[in-house]
Amino acid sequence: NAGVMQNPRHLVRRRGQEARLRCSPMKGHSHVYWYRQLPEEGLKFMVYLQKENIIDESGMPKERFSAEFPKEGPSILRIQQVVRGDSAAYFCASSPGEDYGYTFGSGTRLTVV
Protein backbone atom coordinates (compact mmCIF):
# COMPACT_ATOMS: atom_id res chain seq x y z
CA ASN A 1 0.00 0.00 0.00
CA ALA A 2 2.56 2.51 -1.20
CA GLY A 3 2.15 6.21 -0.53
CA VAL A 4 2.96 9.01 -2.94
CA MET A 5 6.28 8.15 -4.57
CA GLN A 6 8.59 10.88 -5.77
CA ASN A 7 11.87 10.41 -7.54
CA PRO A 8 14.58 11.18 -7.51
CA ARG A 9 14.90 12.18 -3.83
CA HIS A 10 17.86 14.39 -4.65
CA LEU A 11 18.73 15.96 -7.98
CA VAL A 12 21.73 18.08 -8.84
CA ARG A 13 21.72 20.07 -12.06
CA ARG A 14 24.07 22.63 -13.55
CA ARG A 15 22.68 25.98 -14.57
CA GLY A 16 21.03 25.74 -17.97
CA GLN A 17 20.21 22.02 -17.75
CA GLU A 18 16.75 20.51 -17.53
CA ALA A 19 15.27 18.98 -14.39
CA ARG A 20 12.55 16.33 -14.51
CA LEU A 21 10.77 15.44 -11.31
CA ARG A 22 8.45 12.45 -11.17
CA CYS A 23 5.48 11.74 -8.94
CA SER A 24 3.46 8.56 -8.78
CA PRO A 25 0.23 9.17 -6.86
CA MET A 26 -1.29 6.74 -4.40
CA LYS A 27 -3.25 3.92 -5.96
CA GLY A 28 -6.70 5.12 -6.90
CA HIS A 29 -5.79 8.81 -6.71
CA SER A 30 -6.40 10.78 -9.88
CA HIS A 31 -5.63 14.26 -8.55
CA VAL A 32 -2.05 15.48 -8.24
CA TYR A 33 -0.70 18.70 -6.77
CA TRP A 34 2.82 20.15 -6.91
CA TYR A 35 4.25 22.48 -4.28
CA ARG A 36 7.65 24.14 -3.87
CA GLN A 37 9.36 24.79 -0.56
CA LEU A 38 12.28 27.16 -0.15
CA PRO A 39 14.53 26.81 2.94
CA GLU A 40 12.86 28.10 6.13
CA GLU A 41 9.61 28.69 4.22
CA GLY A 42 6.21 27.09 3.93
CA LEU A 43 5.05 25.29 0.84
CA LYS A 44 3.89 27.30 -2.16
CA PHE A 45 1.26 25.92 -4.50
CA MET A 46 2.37 25.46 -8.08
CA VAL A 47 -0.10 23.38 -10.06
CA TYR A 48 -3.08 21.03 -9.72
CA LEU A 49 -3.64 18.33 -12.31
CA GLN A 50 -6.08 15.55 -13.00
CA LYS A 51 -5.40 12.84 -15.52
CA GLU A 52 -4.50 14.56 -18.80
CA ASN A 53 -5.77 17.93 -17.57
CA ILE A 54 -4.29 20.96 -15.86
CA ILE A 55 -6.94 22.26 -13.48
CA ASP A 56 -5.09 25.17 -11.85
CA GLU A 57 -1.61 26.39 -12.74
CA SER A 58 -1.88 29.75 -11.04
CA GLY A 59 1.26 29.11 -8.98
CA MET A 60 3.50 28.06 -11.86
CA PRO A 61 6.14 30.49 -13.11
CA LYS A 62 5.19 31.59 -16.60
CA GLU A 63 8.44 30.47 -18.20
CA ARG A 64 10.60 27.35 -18.04
CA PHE A 65 8.17 25.36 -15.85
CA SER A 66 5.65 22.84 -17.10
CA ALA A 67 3.71 19.94 -15.64
CA GLU A 68 1.81 17.01 -17.01
CA PHE A 69 -0.13 14.05 -15.71
CA PRO A 70 -0.60 11.64 -18.62
CA LYS A 71 -3.19 8.91 -18.86
CA GLU A 72 -0.51 6.34 -18.13
CA GLY A 73 2.53 6.89 -15.94
CA PRO A 74 3.60 9.39 -13.33
CA SER A 75 3.08 13.12 -13.18
CA ILE A 76 6.13 15.05 -14.37
CA LEU A 77 7.25 18.51 -13.30
CA ARG A 78 9.74 19.82 -15.83
CA ILE A 79 12.03 22.78 -15.32
CA GLN A 80 13.97 23.90 -18.35
CA GLN A 81 17.22 25.88 -18.25
CA VAL A 82 17.44 25.75 -14.46
CA VAL A 83 18.83 28.68 -12.50
CA ARG A 84 20.19 28.83 -8.93
CA GLY A 85 16.90 30.25 -7.69
CA ASP A 86 15.15 27.01 -8.68
CA SER A 87 16.98 25.19 -5.88
CA ALA A 88 14.26 24.03 -3.51
CA ALA A 89 12.33 21.02 -2.32
CA TYR A 90 9.49 20.08 -4.65
CA PHE A 91 6.62 18.14 -3.14
CA CYS A 92 3.87 16.25 -4.85
CA ALA A 93 0.58 15.32 -3.20
CA SER A 94 -2.33 13.23 -4.41
CA SER A 95 -5.97 12.77 -3.53
CA PRO A 96 -8.86 10.66 -4.78
CA GLY A 97 -10.98 13.73 -5.42
CA GLU A 98 -12.79 16.14 -3.17
CA ASP A 99 -10.99 15.07 0.02
CA TYR A 100 -8.67 17.68 1.54
CA GLY A 101 -6.65 15.17 3.47
CA TYR A 102 -4.40 14.68 0.52
CA THR A 103 -1.11 12.88 1.04
CA PHE A 104 2.31 14.35 0.34
CA GLY A 105 5.31 12.50 -0.98
CA SER A 106 8.78 12.84 0.56
CA GLY A 107 9.83 15.41 -2.00
CA THR A 108 12.63 15.94 -4.49
CA ARG A 109 15.42 18.24 -3.39
CA LEU A 110 16.77 20.07 -6.40
CA THR A 111 20.13 21.74 -6.17
CA VAL A 112 21.33 23.89 -9.03
CA VAL A 113 25.08 24.44 -9.14
Partner 1 sequence: GQQLNQSPQSMFIQEGEDVSMNCTSSSIFNTWLWYKQDPGEGPVLLIALYKAGELTSNGRLTAQFGITRKDSFLNISASIPSDVGIYFCAGENYGGSQGNLIFGKGTKLSVKP
Cα–Cα distance measured from residue 55 to residue 81, given in angstroms and rounded to the nearest whole number = 25
Question: How many residues of this chain interact with partner 1, rule: CB under 8 A?
Answer: 27
DSSP E strands in the chain: the ranges are 5-7, 10-13, 19-24, 31-37, 43-50, 53-56, 65-68, 75-79, 88-95, 103-104, 108-112
Q: Is residue 98 a contact residue for partner 1 (CB under 8 A)?
A: yes
State which of residues 2, 28, 39, 42 lies at the interface with partner 1 (CB under 8 A).
42
Q: Are 86 and 112 in contact (CB under 8 A)?
A: yes
33 binds partner 1 (CB under 8 A): yes
Out of 13, 24, 48, 110, name the contact with partner 1 by CB under 8 A: 48
95 binds partner 1 (CB under 8 A): yes
Per CB under 8 A, residues contacting partner 1 are: 4, 31, 33, 35, 40-45, 48, 55-56, 58-59, 91, 93, 95, 98, 100-107
